[in-house]
Amino acid sequence: MSYREGSVVAYFLQQLVNGVTLGSVYGLIALGYTMVYGIIGMINFAHGEIYMIGAFVAVIGFTLFAGVPLVLALLLVLILATLVTGFYGWTLERVAYRPLRGSFRLAPLIAAIGMSIFLQNYVQLAQGARIKPVPPKIEGGLTLLVQEGFAARVSYLQICILLLTLLLMAALTWMIHGTSFGRQQRACEQDKVMAALLGVNVDRTISMTFVTGAILAAVAGVLVTLYYGVVDFFIGFLAGVKAFTAAVLGGIGSIPGAMVGGLLIGLIEAFWAGYFSTEWKDVAAFSILVIVLIFRPSGIFGRPEVEKV
């Protein structure tokens, strides 16, 4: 039923729930982009494929743990996905970034695009090009509002996605501001040479930053697998581009900006698809990005870069 036939308020509330849920997933992926850029000033364009690998690991995990109770199966799948994608993130940094860290700025960008294409084709050859379905795992939900025959609902899975996103954001904030590793990250972000002189293992800190971003992308991959019920080898490209858009929109290098940018992209997509046209929702999201970059190039929470001399 369309919003014209039902309640405008209930339909708006439904699109708001859908947009926040989708934006939470984009935000989790965007955190990987913004963390890597913040510490080494480079864009990891293979990050979307790390998210895609996390989704495929979820499919394999749910198949392996088919007879296990649901809560335990979800926990095991999350652990498996984070371990596998963490390894891929660590390998990506060692192979594609560390050897090129002192090279000209385009070299790591080209290497990242090459790794993105490699991982896409690698997964296609390993898992096949067909869509992989996953049966629904978490069903049911709550009715928020019923008016004029239209019911705005929030599913239990959407509630889990929102709660898990908030939990991960709180844990990430604590890690950055309350742990030794977080202090090392901030030191490397400000000045890697000085951080090394003060005893910080810069290479290990950068590698663990890639691993942390990959773990967040793995969680997003598991959540998307549960939410949509299908995955394929190409899902990382569009989701990665949108997450990168979210990171730039919020202010590349800003952790809160990545989440806010993800929520904005998700809301724009949901409301545009709900009130205008599904085919044009991606155009709407990227158009908003262009407008923001014209009037505020550093993004919502970003700060203009100061060139060191």
pLDDT digits (tens, 9 = 90+) for 235-258: 998 888 899 889 988 888 888 888
Using CA atoms, how far residue 270 sits from 22, 202, 231, in Å, is 8, 41, 20
- pLDDT for 309: 46
- Report the alpha-carbon distance of residue 216 to residue 32 in Å, rounded: 7
**Residue 291: pLDDT above 90?**
no
- pLDDT for 72: 93
> Under CATH, what is the fold of the domain 21-295?
ABC transporter involved in vitamin B12 uptake, BtuC (1.10.3470)
- Average pLDDT estimate for 71-89: 94
- Average pLDDT estimate for 225-240: 90
The two tokens of residue 221 are 């991959």
- Encode 1-10: b = buried (16+ Cβ within 10 Å), e = exposed: eebeebbeeb
* Single-letter amino acid code for the residue at 175: M
- The pLDDT-based confidence of 303 (bands split at 50, 70, 90) is low
**Residue 4: pLDDT above 80?**
no
CB count within 10 Å of CB 252 equals 25
- The pLDDT-based confidence of 305 (bands split at 50, 70, 90) is low
- Average pLDDT estimate for 86-92: 93
- Report the alpha-carbon distance of residue 138 to residue 26 in Å, rounded: 21
pLDDT digits (tens, 9 = 90+) for 163-196: 999 999 999 989 988 899 989 988 988 888 899 9
- pLDDT for 216: 93
- pLDDT for 1: 43
pTM: 0.90
pLDDT digits (tens, 9 = 90+) for 23-35: 999 999 999 889 8
- pLDDT for 91: 93
3-state secondary structure the chain: CCCCCCCHHHHHHHHHHHHHHHHHHHHHHHHHHHHHHHHHCCCCCCHHHHHHHHHHHHHHHHHHCCCCCHHHHHHHHHHHHHHHHHHHHHHHHHHHHHHHCCCCCHHHHHHHHHHHHHHHHHHHHHHCCCCEECCCCCCCEEEEEEECCEEEEEEHHHHHHHHHHHHHHHHHHHHHHHCHHHHHHHHHHHCHHHHHHCCCCHHHHHHHHHHHHHHHHHHHHHHHHHHHCEECCCHHHHHHHHHHHHHHHHCCCCHHHHHHHHHHHHHHHHHHHHHCCCCCHHHHHHHHHHHHHHHCCCCCCCCCCCCCC
Q: What residue spans define the domains of the chain? A: 21-295
The two tokens of residue 301 are 């929470």
**Residue 217: pLDDT above 80?**
yes
What is the residue-averaged pLDDT of the chain?
A: 87
- The pLDDT-based confidence of 304 (bands split at 50, 70, 90) is low
pLDDT digits (tens, 9 = 90+) for 140-171: 888 888 877 788 899 999 999 999 999 999 99
Identify which of 170, 205, 210, 176 has the alpha carbon closest to the alpha carbon of residue 188. 205
- Report the alpha-carbon distance of residue 154 to residue 21 in Å, rounded: 10
**Residue 2: pLDDT above 80?**
no
- pLDDT for 150: 80
